[in-house]
Amino acid sequence: MLCDIFFSPGTFVSEQTSMPIDSYDVDKAVKMSRGIIERYNAKPYGFCFTTRERKEDELDSRETHRTGMYYLGEKIETHAEVEARNDPREEILRDNMRSNGFTRIITGNNGWRWTQPFREEDILLDVELALVKAGS
């Protein structure tokens, strides 16, 4: 079974919505992401594809493959850029990048600001995100 897992900003961890998909089709997944709204009107910032399999003697399926994250049009920054900015509000971010060896991060603001490591297997998609809510 193929599945698409969408990730949206959450309170402490990302909200996740899993949906079946018939192939690892990036365009289809981007379209699916536009229909997902999590708590507090959070919209997905990205998704990954997974494959789940179950043997005859197994009660439940297990994940056998997971792609990198496909991020929906956000901003990538290097560790050097974050250090050079030297924003006092980002002291914890700089410490986390140093201590965990993160060379790049991705930051988004699709309704809620979030920051995550950007790994070698991740992909940044150039997509226009739909507006969730506008002020008066």
Q: What CA–CA distance (Å, rounded) separates 46 from 20? A: 16
**pTM more than 0.95:** no
CB distance 52 to 3 below 8 Å: yes
Is the per-residue pLDDT at 131 higher than 50?
A: no
Q: How many Cα neighbours within 13 Å face the side chain of 6?
A: 23
Q: Is residue 8 included in any domain, yes or no?
A: yes
Q: What is the pLDDT of residues 24-63, one digit of tens each?
A: 999 999 999 999 999 888 899 999 999 999 888 988 888 9
Q: Is residue 111 included in any domain, yes or no?
A: yes
Angle formed at CA 126 by CA 125 and CA 128, multiple of 5 degrees: 120
Residue ranges making up the domain that contains 83: 2-124
**Across the strands, what pairs with 1?**
none
Q: Is residue 104 included in any domain, yes or no?
A: yes
